[in-house]
Amino acid sequence: MKKVAVIMGSTSDLGVVRKAVETLDAFGVPCEVHVYSAHRTPGEARSFAANARQNGFGVIIAAAGMAAHLAGAMAAGTTLPVIGIPIKSNTLDGVDALLSTVQMPSGIPVAAVAVDGAVNAALLSIQILAVEDGALAEKLEEKRRRDGEKVLAADREIAAQLGGAYGTISKI
């Protein structure tokens, strides 16, 4: 199975990135976590991206805040899929990172998830790997089934609390 690289621009991103690592681990997807900066260690970031395919990676997740150039820097150095996680900052609540992540020039695509959307970045990575891995695809189907069951259980509970399927707002 291909590995997923999880790259963060700073250790301050670890709180968000940890959720991606935990999700990948729950699916049995191997990953490596590194800290590279698009601005402070551009040579190392580019070298990692350029060698990622030959080093057994199938997807790169890049998490960065503020200017959030890391995902773009990774994408510029590889043809592997790159998923950007814009990280929320104190300055603009992550809108700056979101815009930097999604506004890539034609020819250098970066997929983007929500601000601090590490779980979805991991799940998208798993979906990409599952194109070639039937067992992984089955795990995704099972997760979706369980998630759907939770929603339907919540629906039944609300219906019971409100006196049937058509409870009234006044009972809340």
* Distance between start and end Cα atoms, the chain: 49
Question: Which residue type does 131 have?
Answer: V
Backbone angles phi, psi at 25, to 5 degrees: -60, -40
Work out the pLDDT band at 165, boundaries 50, 70, 90. Answer: low
Q: Model confidence over 81-132: pLDDT tens digits? A: 999 999 998 889 999 999 999 999 999 999 999 999 999 999 999 999 999 9
Residues 67 and 85 in one domain: yes
The whole-number pLDDT of residue 163 equals: 76
On the question of pLDDT at 170 being above 70, the answer is no
Domain with 69 in it: 3-132
Work out the pLDDT band at 167, boundaries 50, 70, 90. Answer: low
The whole-number pLDDT of residue 162 equals: 85
Beta bridge partners of 84: 62, 112
Contacts of 60 (CB under 8 A, 6+ apart): 4, 5, 7, 49, 52, 74, 78, 80, 81, 82, 83
Residues 125 and 143 in one domain: no
Residues 153 and 73 in one domain: no
Residues 7 and 68 in one domain: yes
Q: Model confidence over 36-73: pLDDT tens digits? A: 999 999 999 999 999 999 999 999 999 999 989 999 99
On the question of pLDDT at 133 being above 60, the answer is yes
Residues 73 and 90 in one domain: yes
Provide the Cα torsion 163, 165, 168, 172; round to 10°: 70
Residue 16: closest CA among 54, 74, 63: 63
Q: What total number of domains does the chain contain?
A: 2
The whole-number pLDDT of residue 74 equals: 97
Residues 119 and 59 in one domain: yes
Residue 75: closest CA among 95, 102, 54, 41: 102
